[in-house]
Chains A and B, each alone.
Chain A
Amino acid sequence: MAGSEFKNNEMETSQPEVKPRIAIVSLTSCEGCQFALLDLGERFLEVAKKVEMVDFRLLEDEEDDGRPLDVAFVEGDPVTEANKKTLLELRKRSKLLVVIGNCAAMGGVPEIKNYREKNIPIKHVYKFIQGIENEEIQEVDKFVKVDFTLPGCPIDGEEFLKYLPSLLAGDIPVIPDQPVCIECKKKGNTCLLLENKPCFGPMILGGCDAVCPTARMECQGCRGIRPTGNVKAMKAALKRLITDEEFENTTEIFGLRDDVEAWENDHKEN
């Protein structure tokens, strides 16, 4: 529909309406972030009317026309050579490249294998491992320039809608540097840390509406360390609840472990 309207408008001589061209592409993932968008229901369909949806394979059979894009949204991990090729081509033709979700931003659960001896996880799953692409997980920004990251596992549809207008206008938004705790307190939740639950909320970037602690699930850091988040203080607060090893294991779930290690390297002198 978007495509045909575009053509009709082009034929009109007065005030042709040019809609921003976007693509929503998934690499290796659960595709949950695309569903978080689809789950917006009619509000997503409203958005879809305002843009030219060049590639969204969840809803369209039509082939991508291959022309330049205003914004490309990428979900998932570039695991296979084909994934990597898709990603590089997408970058080349897009003004802005936005990663959506924890896999694309931080490696996600597949990154756990990076912390295991190579070939142990794959040998648990497969008898014949020859020919199966099993490189270490490297997130999207290791391959291409990323203009904006919408974090979360999965992303929050509301947050997507909040930042979409500026992205479509070509501006790069900034997610406020505040912990999950701000929204958690606003919701009137009892602090999980006070209940002796190892919640990572204080060091993690908010914006998720504190969805996990509100469901009494401790924050495990899927949105990543916030710019002024303090890993050292967090670890000190968690010391009486979990061991260092348990902390490290938990940071593996959402690809946070390498970010924690990088933070500690950067703050050695402190």
Chain B
Amino acid sequence: MNIKINHIAKIEGHTGFMASVLQGDVKSAKFEVQEGVRLIEGILVGRTYRDMPVIAQRICGICPVVHNLTAIKSIENAMGVEVTEETVKLRRVMEHAQFIHSHALHLFFLSLADFLDIENDLDLVGEYPEQAKKAVRIREYGMEIIKVIGGRVVHPLTNEVGGFKKVPTVEEIGNLIAQGEEILPVALELGEFFKTIKLPEFTRETEYVSLGRDGEYAIYDGDVVSNRGLHVVVDEFENNFHEFQRPKEIIKRVMTDGETSYMVGSIARVNNQGDKLSPEARKFRESLGFSLPDFNPFHNVLYQMTEVIHSIEESAELMRQLSRADLGNAVTKKYEVRAGSAAAAVEAPRGTLYYWVDIDDKGYIKSANIITPTAQFLTHLEDDIAAFIPGILDVDEHTREKKMRAFIRAYDPCISCAVH
């Protein structure tokens, strides 16, 4: 029997899915990607490093902030450019804001309908107007932060190698702090609503990979860690996670030893660093009643909710610190263009985003590599679905397809990122 889904809506990018099952055994379970290639790494070669953050962030319309930041960090690492504490804090606030708006979109508008048996978000908004309003407000708060600091939500403008072209005023930061105080209770209320949603039972033991750092819930800096005891510096990333292409496939595979898949994203981060969440986020996480490590991928949605709360609290704290600092220190200072190569990684909403770049002494890019979260977890998702299918063979075709769509969407894949 073949199970075919022609096109999976409500995810970023275009893909179908095909599984073949023989007498109850899943023989194959595979995405059929319907995206064209844009060859982002290829077109960066030969261009000045200054173009890289501008071009690379256009890999993704939903998470440009993290592509922009990771590109900038990799260049700074390669050329040995130091940035100020204020610059790092502003960037971290932007990253939290990216989490807030990306997660709010996914957990409410892309994923929730699946668990309420609704097929169209406009219907979802009609049936749950209060909750929809809350999700929109939370999302708008995240977008507002990016607009104020970055100059624009989709493809921000102010960030560059060495710092910021323009920094927000103390008043603007003060306004954002005030909005953050109002939005936290809204997020906690939405969290309570999500606790009432019944998610499917499915578990498969696996490896969860994320950044990790002493004393903080790492998203901007740290080493690469896993629940199975892995702990390596970012420069060692490609020695541990092997990226390779299978003939005719346009999304490269990433595996730990060439054949074992692993998981990244909210569920991985919470599994690895759940004890470092901010106070309200930790309370919410504990109230869910799942012990860590949690091996149910559907819970990714609840951990996105957890991270929304965390990022609201953390960004508010960072902004309070910034409101007492001299933001002028975040404005780009003169730096030297030098030859060098280096890696960088940040946590994107969907998981660890890795960049590597090699720059010549004039500042031109000799080589670049980008490994996105979705490319990392795509094989893991196929493996999960292969394990999920035997449990849904008895239901009718329509229901089965719906359950598979729900599974895929719970992962929050971004096919545009994965192909790039």
Binding site for B on A (CB under 8 A): 1-3, 26-36, 38-39, 41-42, 45, 48-49, 53, 57-62, 77, 79-80, 82-83, 108-110, 112-113, 116, 120-128, 130-134, 153-154, 211-212, 214-217, 220, 249-250, 253
Contact = CB atoms under 8 A, between A and B. Distances in A.
Given A1-B122, A215-B157, A34 B61 contact: yes
Nearest to B249: A128
A28 B34 CA distance: 9
A121 B61 contact: no
Nearest to B150: A215
B125 A45 contact: yes
A209 to B, nearest CB: 10
B45 interface: yes
Nearest to A120: B42
26 contacts: A30-B416, A31-B61, A32-B154, A33-B154, A35-B62, A36-B61, A41-B140, A42-B133, A42-B136, A49-B122, A53-B122, A58-B10, A59-B109, A108-B58, A109-B40, A116-B43, A116-B46, A121-B39, A121-B43, A122-B39, A122-B42, A124-B41, A125-B40, A128-B245, A220-B54, A249-B48
B185 interface: no
B332 to A, nearest CB: 10
B47 A216 contact: no
A59 B140 contact: no
B139 interface: yes
B38 to A, nearest CB: 4
Contacts of B109: 59
Given A77-B36, A83-B36, A128-B247, A31 B13 contact: yes
B9 A60 contact: yes
Contacts of A42: 133, 136
Interface of B: 7, 9-10, 12-14, 34-43, 45-48, 51, 54-55, 58-62, 64, 105, 109-110, 113, 119-123, 125-126, 133, 136, 139-140, 143, 150-158, 165-166, 244-248, 250, 367, 405, 416
Contacts of A58: 9-10, 12, 110
A31 B126 contact: no
Given A57-B7, A83-B36, A217-B151, A212 B157 contact: yes
Contact of A215 (B36, B45, B58, B165): B165
Contact of B58 (A3, A80, A109, A123): A109
A61 B10 contact: yes
Contacts of B143: 39
Contacts of A45: 122, 125, 136
A60 B121 CA distance: 6
Given A38-B105, A79-B37, A154 B120 contact: no
Nearest to A215: B151
Nearest to B122: A1
B42 A211 contact: no
B61 A1 contact: no
B136 A154 contact: no
B111 to A, nearest CB: 12
Nearest to A36: B154
A45 to B, nearest CB: 6
B158 A215 contact: yes
Contacts of A110: 38-39, 43
Quick one: which of A33, A61, A83 has the most chain B CB within 10 A? A61
Nearest to A111: B43
A127 B47 contact: no
B249 to A, nearest CB: 8
B119 A61 contact: yes
